[in-house]
Structure 1
Amino acid sequence: MTSPWPLICPSCAAPMDLVRAPDAPGHSPRTEPQQQKSSPRALQALSCPAGHRFDAARQGYVNLLSGRGTRFTPDSAQMIMARERVQNAGVFDALSTELTQILGEHTAARSRTDPAVPAETTHTSDPAIFLDCGAGTGHYLHQLLDSSPASRGIALDLSVAGLKRAARHRRTLALAWDLWQPLPLASDAVDLLLDVFAPRNVAEYARVLRPGGLAVVVTPGDAHLGQLRSAGMLKVQGEKLRQLAEQMAPAFGVAELNAQVKATVPVDAGLAADLVFMGPAGHHLDLGALRKQLADAGVSHVTIDLDVSLWRR
């Protein structure tokens, strides 16, 4: 049987299938067949016909980097918990709203046949595949899946702490992977690709997206978290939107949409510290000391300034 998940083996590039526990809750004979096929719950492993097998952790994610490794340092559990507190506090709710709106417009467009796309590649009767590159906790991916009940999501990240959380959604397959390596997905398989503040493997993004599929990339604007930068806590490289356009152009051409997301959000010292600590700075800062510094600096609100760019393959 062909797997409904478009995965390829990182060892030999053969299609991979899910190995599930036969007596797992939620997979009894009474369970609706399509639900069984589309859910990664009770996952034991991923395997290919050549015998390569990647066992699932108890928390539901799969480490596809076993025996391969990466030179990059994953976000620590403490950094992931800081990110989770920020997300749960609603600091980036304006971004969630924008992403859900983009998904709604994409779904409406997907239901119509695009004359520029061959009919055999539209797959309008198949559940959509969403791919979140650098997913972390899977926060935005989960929200998009909740807005599209027939869809399935694949979360890629290096952080095990993040993937434990990403795997909690019943329609999410969480995989430990290095985005700079060829992605473990079949070509022309993804309907919507999401990248929020993550590295961008543009050539691979173009390969895995189906014709007509969307790549949505979120980057910080010039004013993003300006209060924390003024307090000396963050550095944000300028002209990110221009650099992004240049990076994406060879594979995707010109962006179909450039939207700005702006908001002013009240924060206390703890939440402000989490906003710093959840990013790359968290690898070398002490969270307790950071909280004290921000309390002394009197930061009471932050500016959210994000650029959301969309390309259609």
Structure 2
Amino acid sequence: MHHRILDRLRCPVCAEPLAETTAGTARALRCPRRHSFDVARQGYVNLLAGRAPHSGDNAEMVAARADFLAAGHYDPVAAALAAKAREIVSRSFPNSDAYPLVVDAGAGTGWYLAAVLAALPDAVGLALDVAKPALRRAARAHPRAAAALADTWQRLPLADDSAAVLVNVFAPRNGAEFHRVLDPAGALLVVTPAADHLAELVDALDLLRVDPAKAERVAGSLSAYFAEESAAEHRARLELSRTEVAALVGMGPSAWHADPARLAERIAALPEPVPVTVAVRLAVHRPR
């Protein structure tokens, strides 16, 4: 683990600093009070203080997501996110010696974090997620990134004011903790679906609809800790195979709510190629 990341990690039990220890081939992070957290052989560290409330995406869902993202379908989203992160770091953290930390809360496979780090050659990154299959990939998503098993609804295993940029893409938001770990000069970047995101599939596959008041609800949930500085919508038109549609649906909340057999029937009935609109809102939130 990059020492610039380790220096900013904190014990999830007592909030003391962590140091890396090695015994044979086993690695762990340990605090001065002897709380110890194992580093899995796949590279991520388990920084849960107790049991996770859920296990997140399973291996099949994670594999489908990885394949879909690797095909480049969401490249415009990643590019917009990376460009905004670069703008914030260059403006607020001009001293490259600081090695700004980018934290992706609900990082999944670390694909978006890797895109951001590619645009920030002096930054390091930390992927946080509750799904072990995703973290196995996130741990090797980028040479300057690390991955940790953590419940983003609980206290984050990070020091106060330790992150320059906090990324949150289609993931839950913990306003209080995001505010605590974010540098006062930093920014929270939140990507949420716009009203017409995947519109062609919603009726055809009976998917969950995007709440028309989604943007207002997100801003409201963060308003005690953050002020929305700016927001922009980004769109792309895709032409997908049925297999890619199935992977795309599996990446979203409908995967948890739809009947798998019925969903498969409806996807099989779609004419190929399937036109799909990707529409997201990227909002910049500054700490109050």
* TM-score, length of structure 2 as denominator length: 0.91
Check conservation: 2:27, 2:38, Cα contact below 8 A: yes
Check conservation: 2:117, 2:125, Cα contact below 8 A: yes
CA positional deviation for 1:295: 2.7
SS class of match (1:101): helix
CA positional deviation for 1:78: 0.7
Which residue matches 1:10? 12
CA positional deviation for 1:108: 2.0
* TM-score, length of structure 1 as denominator length: 0.84
Q: Per the alignment, do residues 111 and 69 of structure 1 end up closer, same or farther by CA in structure 2, a change over 3 Å counting?
A: closer
Spell out the pairing of 1:1-313 with structure 2 (5 A cutoff). Answer: 4-19=6-21, 44-65=27-48, 68-112=50-94, 125-168=97-140, 169-238=142-211, 239-253=213-227, 255-283=228-256, 290-298=263-271, 300-313=274-287
RMSD between aligned residues: 2.2
Distance between the aligned counterparts of 1:219 and 1:268, measured in 2?
A: 24
Distance between the aligned counterparts of 2:102 and 2:203, measured in 1?
A: 37
SS class of match (2:223): helix
Distance between the aligned counterparts of 2:191 and 2:206, measured in 1?
A: 21
Q: Deviations over 1:220-252 (max 9, x none)?
A: 010000111011342133111011111111111
Identity rate, percent: 37
Distance between the aligned counterparts of 1:6 and 1:139, measured in 2?
A: 22
Gaps in structure 1 of 5+ consecutive residues: 23-41, 113-122
Q: Which moved more, 1:286-295 or 1:201-210?
A: 286-295
What amino acid maps onto 2:199 in structure 1?
Answer: G
What amino acid maps onto 1:146 in structure 2?
Answer: A
Distance between the aligned counterparts of 1:80 and 1:3, measured in 2?
A: 25
Q: Per the alignment, do residues 287 and 268 of structure 1 end up closer, same or farther by CA in structure 2, a change over 3 Å counting?
A: farther
Check conservation: 2:37, 2:47, Cα contact below 8 A: yes
Which residue matches 1:25? none
Distance between the aligned counterparts of 1:170 and 1:263, measured in 2?
A: 29
Which residue matches 1:39? none
Gaps in structure 2 of 5+ consecutive residues: none
Distance between the aligned counterparts of 2:122 and 2:260, measured in 1?
A: 40
Of Structure 1 and Structure 2, which has the larger fraction of its residues in strand? 2
CA positional deviation for 1:53: 1.0
SS class of match (1:231): helix
Highest Rg: 1 or 2?
1
Q: Per the alignment, do residues 212 and 111 of structure 1 end up closer, same or farther by CA in structure 2, a change over 3 Å counting?
A: closer
SS class of match (1:192): strand
Distance between the aligned counterparts of 1:183 and 1:43, measured in 2?
A: 24
Q: Deviations over 1:78-113 (max 9, x none)?
A: 11111112101211111011112112211320245x
Distance between the aligned counterparts of 1:164 and 1:101, measured in 2?
A: 26
CA positional deviation for 1:291: 4.3
CA positional deviation for 1:5: 3.1
Q: Per the alignment, do residues 17 and 312 of structure 1 end up closer, same or farther by CA in structure 2, a change over 3 Å counting?
A: same
What amino acid maps onto 1:240 in structure 2?
Answer: K
CA positional deviation for 1:43: 8.4
SS class of match (2:152): coil
Check conservation: 1:268, 1:301, Cα contact below 8 A: no
Distance between the aligned counterparts of 1:55 and 1:93, measured in 2?
A: 34
CA positional deviation for 1:51: 0.9
